[in-house]
Chains A and B, each alone.
Chain A
Amino acid sequence: MKTASITMIIGSALLFGLFLYPLWSITLEAPQYPSGIGMYIHLDGLEGHEKHDIQNIDGLNHYIGMRKLPKDDEMWEFSVFPKVVGGMAIVGIIIGVLGFFKKISYNWFLGWLILMVVLGVLGMIDFNNWMTDYGTNLDPKAIMKMTDKEGNPLSYKPPLFGSKDILNFTAHSYPALGAILMGIGMSLTCVAYIIGFKKAK
C-alpha cells in the first residue's frame, strides 16, 4: 500500500504542472509566417507563442469576422479551471497520504481517477463548445464570407486534436507539456490503484 500511495501522491502532484506549463497549443502555419504563429492555452488564460501572437491572430481573424480571443477575465473557465485542477491535486495528495497511513483503501484512488476523468471530459466538451462558437459565430459584417460547396458558411473552428487546413492556414492543435504531465499523473493514479488492488490480493 505504501508504493501505491506514493504513486498516488506523485500522480496527483503532477497536476500542478498545469500551473507552470500550458495545457494546449494551437499553431497556425502559412507561407508568409515562416516561423509560425500560435498560442498556448493555459488554465488561466491564453498566451502567444511569441509576445504579440494573440494580437496578430486577432488581426488575421477580423477579416473573417471572428471575435477577438478572450482576455483572462473574459471567460469564467480561466478562473474556475485553476480552482478545480488545484483542488483535485490537493484532494489526490490527501487521499494518497491517508492511504499511506492506511486510513482509507485503494478504492479511493479509483474514485479520484473517475472523478478526474469526468471533469476532464466535461472540460474538453466545454473547450470544444467554445471553439465551435468561436469558429462559427461570426460577425455578420465580416469582410470575407466564405462558404463550403453546399453554400453553408465555412467553420473556422480549429481542430480539438490534430491538424486541419483553414483557408490559407494549416492549424495544428495538440496537448502541451501541462496536459502531458496531467496525463502521466492520471496514468500514475491508475497505476496506484492497480498496485493497491494487487497488493490487497
Chain B
Amino acid sequence: MKTIQKLLLGLGAGLLLIGCGNNSKDGSSGAMASSNAEKVYVAPGEHDEFYAFLSGGYSGNLTVYGLPSGRMFKEIPVFSQFPTNGYGYSEETKAMLNTSFGFVPWGDAHHPDISQTNGELDGRWVFINENNTPRIARISLETFETEEIIEIPNSAGNHASSFVTENTEYIVAGTRFAVPNPQRDMPIDEMKGEFKGPLSFISIDQEHGHMNLDFQLNMPGFNYDLAHPGRDKSHGWFFFTSYNTEEAHSMMEVNASQNDKDFIAAVNWQKIAEYVENGGGTKVAGTYAHNTYDESTMTATTEMKEGVISVDPRNVEGAVYYMPVPKSPHGLDVDPSGQYIIGNGKLSTQLSVYSFDKMMKAIEDKDYDGDAYGIPILSFESVLEGVVDSGGLGPLHTEFDGKGYGYTTFFISSEVVKWKIGTWEVIDRLPTYYSVGHLTIPGGNSRKPFGKYMFSMNKITKDRYLPTGPELEHSAQLYDITGDKMELLLDFPTHGEPHYAAAIPAELIKSKSKKYYELEENNHKYAAKSEADTRVERNGNEVHIYATTVRSHFAPDNIEGIKVGDKVYFHITNLEQDFDVPHGFAMIGANTSEILVMPGQTKTITWEPKREGVWPFYCTDFCSALHQEMQGYVRVSAKNSNTKLRWSLDDEWKE
C-alpha cells in the first residue's frame, strides 16, 4: 500500500514538473532531466549538503568537492610541492616532504579516510596514504591543511592504506610490492620465500591525532593490495586482500595470475597490539621520517627515527589467518554490521562474501586447508557465506548505503551494481562513463552510511567533456541512491587520478572550519607582529627580512644593502585579521615559488639574487583596490660593495 502511495506521489510530482515552466517541447526527457537538474542544483550562495575529499592520485594531493553540486572548493597539498601557495617550497613546509631518501617533491596519494568514533565519522581528521614512497598524512578538518606525514619503513607500494579503525585507534599501511626485509643486495629471481610484505599499524593519539608507528607484522611476501578494518562485531580485526601468492618477480600480469586462489589475510590487531604492549616482537632496523607541522610556530619539523617493532605473525597464537579468495582480488570491504567481508575478485564476475561468524567458527574448529609459511589457511567452504553473481566483469570496490544494500564497481563492464545484503541478489545496475575504479557513499565504509548519494570515480574520460587534447582530467558520476533504482544525476571532472574518496555531511564539520589565524597566537620564530617590528638583519651572507603585509602595502617596501651571493629570507607576516584576506609574495628571479600568506600567518621564501640592480617584488593575490600598488624594491649591490643595509616604508629609513 505504502509503495503504491509513494508511486502515485512520485507520478504526481513528475506530472507537476512537466506542467510547470518546462519550455522544452521535448516533454518526455525534459521532465526527468529537469528533476535531476534540480537534485544537483545548489543555488548561488547556498551550501552543498556533503563535503567529499577526493584523492588526487598522481597529483599527490587531496581535492575538496561539494555534493551534490560536484563543485571543487579546494586542492589541499599533501605529498606534492604546490607552487600555488608555496607548500613544499616555503621554509616552513619544506620539511613536510622529507623522507629517509631525502626530499621527495611528489607523491601518489590514494585512499583518504575520515577519523571515526564508535564506527561513525567524527570529522576530526582525514588520513591519506602515499603509494610510491610509503607514507601516511594527516589533514586537519579545521584548517584543511596537512599537519603530519609519517614515512613507513621496510615497506614498498603503500596501497592497502590508510584505513581507520572504528575508534581511530590505528591507521594501517600495507606492502603491495613485496621486498627484502630488511632491504639487501640480492638476485631478484631468488625472491620467492625471501621477500616480505610487512603490514604496519600506526597508532593515533586521540587528542592531537599524532601518528606513531606501533608495530609491523612481517607477513609472507605476497602483494597486500587493499584492506578494511572490521567494525562493530568484527572490530579488532583487519582484513587485507593479497595477490601474487605465486611470488612471481617478472611478467607479473601473467605469472602472478596462475594460482586459482589468492588470500585474504585476517589479522587480529587487538591481539597483536596487546602482544607488543607486553614486550612481544623484536626491534628491527628501519629509518623513517616523521614530519609534523606545528600550528603555533607555523613550522614543520622532521624527526628522523630509527627502528621499528617487528612481529612474526606465527608467534602470536590465533592472530593471523588466510582465507582463500578467487584469484587476484582487489578491493575488500566490510558491511556496516561487521558481519560480512566482501572480496572483490577483479578478474571474475563474482563477489565472494565471507561471514565473520563462520570465520570465528572455522578458527575455533581449526578448519584449516593447510598453511602458507606457517600461517593457517581457513578452508574456503567453511568461511564463505555467499556469492554475488553480478553478471558484470571485474568487480573492484564496494560501499554500503546503511539500508541493506551494497554497491560494487565493475571496471571491465564499466558499471555500478546494487545488490542486497543477505540474499546476494542483484537489484539494479547502471553504466559508468567509463571504467570505474572506486566509488564513495558518504560514510559508506563506516557503521553509519549516509545513503543519499553515491559517486563513481572513473579511469577513462574519452568524450564526456569538451576535448582538451590527448591529456584529460578524470571524470566522476553522481548517482541518487534513495530509490530502489539508482539514478545518474551528474558528471563532474576530477583532478589528478582519484583513487577513493571520503565524504561527510557538511553539518559535521563546516562550523569548525577556521576563518583566519589569530596574530596573537602566532609563535613563528621570524614573525613581525606589527609594522614597528619589521626589520632587516644580516648574518654573514644570510639576510633575514622581517616584513609585514596589510592592505595595500608591504613594510618595509624599500630595502638596500643586499649583495649578489646573499641568501635572502623573506619572512612575511600577514597582519590582516579578517576572513579571506590573504596576501601573496613573489620576487623576481626567485628559484622557489610564490607564497600565499593567510591572515595572522607567517611564511618564508628564499631568494638568492644573481645580478646587481633594483629588483621588484609584489603581492600576487588581488587583495584590494590598491593591489597593483602593493609592491616594493630591493637594491642589489656587488658582492664587495659598501652599500649600507637599510630599509624603509614611505621614506622613513632605518638601519
Which residues of A pack against B, CB within 8 Å?
51-52, 55-56, 59, 63, 143
Chain B residue with Cβ nearest A54:
B577
Q: Name B355-394 residues within 8 Å CB distance of A.
A: none
* Residues of B contacting A52 in the complex (Cβ-Cβ under 8 angstroms): 577-578
How far is B626's CA from A117's CA once the two chains are assembled, in angstroms? 46
Show 13 residue pairs from A and B whose CB-CB distance is below 8 angstroms, ordered by the A residue.
A51-B577, A52-B577, A52-B578, A55-B577, A56-B577, A56-B578, A59-B550, A59-B551, A59-B576, A59-B578, A63-B625, A63-B626, A143-B626
Closest Cβ of chain B to A128, distance in Å, is: 29
Number of A-B contacts (CB under 8 A): 13
- What mask results when residues 604 to 628 of chain B are scored 1 for a CB within 8 Å of chain A, else 0? 0000000000000000000001100
- What mask results when residues 563 to 578 of chain B are scored 1 for a CB within 8 Å of chain A, else 0? 0000000000000111
How far is B169's CA from A163's CA once the two chains are assembled, in angstroms? 56
How far is B625's CA from A62's CA once the two chains are assembled, in angstroms? 12
Chain B residue with Cβ nearest A59:
B551
Closest Cβ of chain A to B557, distance in Å, is: 15
Closest Cβ of chain B to A182, distance in Å, is: 32
How far is B404's CA from A37's CA once the two chains are assembled, in angstroms? 49
Chain B residue total in the interface (Cβ 8 A):
7
How far is B411's CA from A104's CA once the two chains are assembled, in angstroms? 96
Counting chain B CB atoms within 10 Å of each CB, the highest count among A55, A56, A59, A143 belongs to A59
* Residues of B contacting A51 in the complex (Cβ-Cβ under 8 angstroms): 577
Seed contacts A56-B578, A59-B550, A59-B551; 10 additional CB < 8 Å A-B pairs: A51-B577, A52-B577, A52-B578, A55-B577, A56-B577, A59-B576, A59-B578, A63-B625, A63-B626, A143-B626
Counting chain B CB atoms within 10 Å of each CB, the highest count among A51, A52, A63, A143 belongs to A52
How far is B133's CA from A142's CA once the two chains are assembled, in angstroms? 56
Q: Name B423-444 residues within 8 Å CB distance of A.
A: none
* Residues of A contacting B577 in the complex (Cβ-Cβ under 8 angstroms): 51-52, 55-56
How far is B61's CA from A133's CA once the two chains are assembled, in angstroms? 53
* Residues of A contacting B576 in the complex (Cβ-Cβ under 8 angstroms): 59
Closest Cβ of chain A to B578, distance in Å, is: 5
How far is B576's CA from A63's CA once the two chains are assembled, in angstroms? 15
How far is B578's CA from A59's CA once the two chains are assembled, in angstroms? 10
Closest Cβ of chain B to A62, distance in Å, is: 8
Closest Cβ of chain A to B655, distance in Å, is: 25
Closest Cβ of chain A to B283, distance in Å, is: 50
Counting chain A CB atoms within 10 Å of each CB, the highest count among B551, B576, B578, B626 belongs to B578
* Residues of A contacting B626 in the complex (Cβ-Cβ under 8 angstroms): 63, 143
* Residues of B contacting A55 in the complex (Cβ-Cβ under 8 angstroms): 577
How far is B519's CA from A55's CA once the two chains are assembled, in angstroms? 12
Closest Cβ of chain A to B514, distance in Å, is: 13
* Residues of A contacting B551 in the complex (Cβ-Cβ under 8 angstroms): 59
Chain A residue with Cβ nearest B650:
A141
How far is B520's CA from A52's CA once the two chains are assembled, in angstroms? 12
Q: Name B574-589 residues within 8 Å CB distance of A.
A: 576-578
How far is B625's CA from A63's CA once the two chains are assembled, in angstroms? 9
How far is B599's CA from A51's CA once the two chains are assembled, in angstroms? 14
* Residues of A contacting B578 in the complex (Cβ-Cβ under 8 angstroms): 52, 56, 59
How far is B625's CA from A56's CA once the two chains are assembled, in angstroms? 15
How far is B130's CA from A191's CA once the two chains are assembled, in angstroms? 76
Closest Cβ of chain B to A63, distance in Å, is: 7
7 A-B pairs with least C-beta separation = A52-B577, A56-B578, A55-B577, A59-B551, A52-B578, A143-B626, A59-B550
How far is B579's CA from A56's CA once the two chains are assembled, in angstroms? 10
How far is B581's CA from A59's CA once the two chains are assembled, in angstroms? 12
Chain A residue with Cβ nearest B626:
A143
How far is B578's CA from A56's CA once the two chains are assembled, in angstroms? 7
How far is B578's CA from A55's CA once the two chains are assembled, in angstroms? 9
* Residues of B contacting A59 in the complex (Cβ-Cβ under 8 angstroms): 550-551, 576, 578
Closest Cβ of chain B to A105, distance in Å, is: 56
How far is B577's CA from A56's CA once the two chains are assembled, in angstroms? 7
How far is B551's CA from A63's CA once the two chains are assembled, in angstroms? 9
Chain A residue with Cβ nearest B576:
A59
* Residues of A contacting B625 in the complex (Cβ-Cβ under 8 angstroms): 63
- What mask results when residues 543 to 554 of chain B are scored 1 for a CB within 8 Å of chain A, else 0? 000000011000
Closest Cβ of chain B to A125, distance in Å, is: 34
How far is B577's CA from A55's CA once the two chains are assembled, in angstroms? 8
Chain B residue with Cβ nearest A55:
B577
How far is B626's CA from A63's CA once the two chains are assembled, in angstroms? 9
Chain B residue with Cβ nearest A53:
B578
